[in-house]
Structure 1
């Protein structure tokens, strides 16, 4: 959807020519989010602004959906690209409804159409139209204004959106909320988005692809997982941080490391049966107990099953926590540390027990990408990377 071909910007200064962007070439597929990262003055914002010609390129070309935009009228180009800036840029003398309707009005939409669109978009960004449509920007919090800024960029339903540090001025709690809501919207809207950020954690969370800039040059352009697992040089490695392996936890879901061939018992099963199942599967610690609906309610320790007679329902221990199959491994690791355990039972959307996630399995999955001939970052990674043995600290 977005193709940049040798895009270059040279500024003439009193001290001579300065290259702000040096032959940048990259492509962003339709429906993907690309985040531009790098230190101040590296060329990321200049590159972004050359796409809609807020900054005129010195040379090079920009293609939108296969069309060379070089010959397009600048006004027409910008009206077909949504744009969100860090300072939001809402017009203070206009109501929220009027702010959202700016571009649709310029495009000649009928009043009922852009009024309906404003209402739809406020609902999409989780702001009640009945409360906010007639308010002015000064009556909104910073986070609310930012949501309106995103809604305004979406008003004319552009295929491409450009965002310059769109969440940078929001406090950390609201930033997480707005990021989550934006990703939910993106699943429905399928826009092609490029945005500038200074936060590697934000980029890992939001992006399908990340572009690292330095001194006006594009140093590495990759998926978040490949960027973290295989930084191109010392600069990229330093920029993404010493905890880059831990950052990868956010990118992997539980169902990618799930051990599914796990036994389970019910309350009416004997402890002898529980012990037999644990020995058959090589379990050294415990077995999960489920109710009649298949939902985990506790576990039976092997030490008890091997020394006491009776039924599982009389000797089980309550669970310390469960993981959902769509949880990311960062959340799982946090739960494991909180509950002092190296494994967690996993449940599906209905709360039914579907298997286990283990610290050993997570380690095997993440480390596989560093082994020759193995691609540990892929969803189809072999199940044999996941260890079947568990141990509770």
Structure 2
């Protein structure tokens, strides 16, 4: 949807020309989010603003849906690109409804249509239209104003959105909520989005692709997982941080590492049966217990089975936590640390056992990327000389 070819911007300054963006080339597929990252002055915001010509490029070109935008009228170009900035930029003398309807009005939409669109978008950003439609920006919190900024950018249903640190000025709790709401919208709307951020954690959470800039150049353009697992050079490695392996936990859902149909017992099974199943499957500490609806309710410790007689329902220990297949591994790791656990049961929406996730399974999954990389490097290396 967005294709950038050799995009360059050179500013004339009293001290001579300064290259802010140097031969930037990249593509953003339709329906994906690309986050531009890098230190201050690296060229990411300049690159973003050249797409809708807030900053004119020195050379290179931008294509949107295959069309070269160089010859397009600037006003028409911007009306077809949603734009969200950190400062939000709502007009203080206009109601929320009027702010959202600005571009649809300019495009000649009838009043009934743009009013309905404002109501639809307020619902979409989780703000009650009956409460907020006639309010003014000064009557809203910063987080609510930022939601309106996103709604306004979506008003005319543009295929492309540009976002310049849109959540950077919001407190961490509200930022997390708004990010989650935005990702829900994106699942339904499938916009093509370029997004400037300074926060690697935000980029990992939001992006399909991450572009890392340095000194006006594009250093690495890849998926979040590949950037974290295989930083191109020392600069990228330092930029993403020493905890990059932990950051990867956010990218993996439980369903990707879950062991389906784990061994388990029921309250009416004997402790001897539980012990036999543990030994059969190589379990050294405990086995899961489910009720008659196949819902996990606790576990039976191996030490109990080895020393007592009776039934599992008389000697089980209650569960402290469960996870769902759609949860990410960061949540799993946090629960494991909080409860001193090495495994957790996974349940579906009805609480029925779906599988289990283990520390060993998580480690194996994350390590697979590095093992594949090592194998590929070995395959590319020349074979050692063999002496006669």
CA deviations on 1:151-189 (whole Å, 9 max, x unpaired) are 000000000000000000000000000000000000000
For the residue of structure 2 that corresponds to 1:121, the secondary structure is: helix
User: Does the residue aligned with 1:147 lie in a helix, a strand or coil?
Assistant: helix
Which moved further from structure 2: 364-373 or 212-221? 364-373
Aligned to 1:342: 342
Cα distance in 1 for partners of 2:372, 2:214 equals 29
Partner of 1:9: 9
Q: Which residue of 2 aligns with 1:117?
A: 117
The question of 1:131 aligning with 2:131 is answered yes
Aligned partner of 1:161 in structure 2 is 161
Residue correspondence of structure 1 range 203-352 to structure 2 within 5 A: 203-352=203-352
Pair 1:146 & 2:146 matched: yes
Structure 2 CA distance for aligned equivalents of residues 261 and 103 of structure 1: 53
SS in 2 for 1:324: coil
After TM superposition, give the deviation of residue 372 of structure 1 in Å. Answer: 3.6
Any residues of structure 2 matched to 1:64-79 within 5 Å, and which? 64-79=64-79
The match for 1:89 is 89
Q: Secondary structure at the match of 1:306?
A: helix
Q: What is the CA distance between 1:261 and its match in structure 2?
A: 4.2
Once the two structures are superposed, residues 181-231 of structure 1 have per-residue CA deviations (whole angstroms, 9 ceiling, x without a partner) of 000000000000001000000000000000000000000000000000000
Find the aligned partners of 1:307 and 1:154 in 2 and give their Cα distance. 65
Deviations 1:35-84 (A, max 9, x none): 00001000000000000000000010101011111111111100000000
Note the residue ranges of structure 2 that are not aligned, 5 or more in a row. 376-388
**Which protein is richer in helix relative to its size?**
2
Alpha-carbon distance between aligned partners in 2 of 1:368 and 1:132, rounded to the nearest angstrom: 49
Q: What is the alpha-carbon distance in structure 2 between the residues aligned to residue 154 and residue 234 of structure 1?
A: 38
Q: Which runs of 5+ in 1 are unaligned?
A: 376-393
| Secondary structure of the structure 1 residue equivalent to 2:370 | coil
CA RMSD of aligned residues (A): 1.0
Q: For 1:261 and 1:118, how far apart are their aligned partners in 2?
A: 47
- Tell me how many residue pairs correspond in the alignment: 375
Is 1:171 aligned with 2:168?
Answer: no
The answer to whether the 8 A contact 1:261-1:355 is kept is: yes
Per-residue deviation at 1:367? 1.2
What SS does the corresponding residue of 1:134 show, helix, strand or coil? coil
User: Contact 1:368–1:374 at 8 Å: present in 2 too?
Assistant: no
Q: TM-score with structure 2 length normalisation?
A: 0.95
How far did 1:263 drift? 0.8
Deviations 1:241-268 (A, max 9, x none): 0101110010011111111241111111
Query: Which stretch shows the higher mean deviation, 46-55 or 275-284?
Result: 275-284
Shift of 1:373: 5.7
Q: Which runs of 4+ in 1 moved over 6 A?
A: none
TM-superposition CA deviations, 1:95-119 (whole Å, max 9, x none): 0000000000000000000000000
For 1:3 and 1:372, the matched residues in 2 are separated by: 31
Separation (CA, whole Å) in 1 of partners of 2:372 and 2:265: 40
Deviation at 1:357, TM superposition (A): 0.8
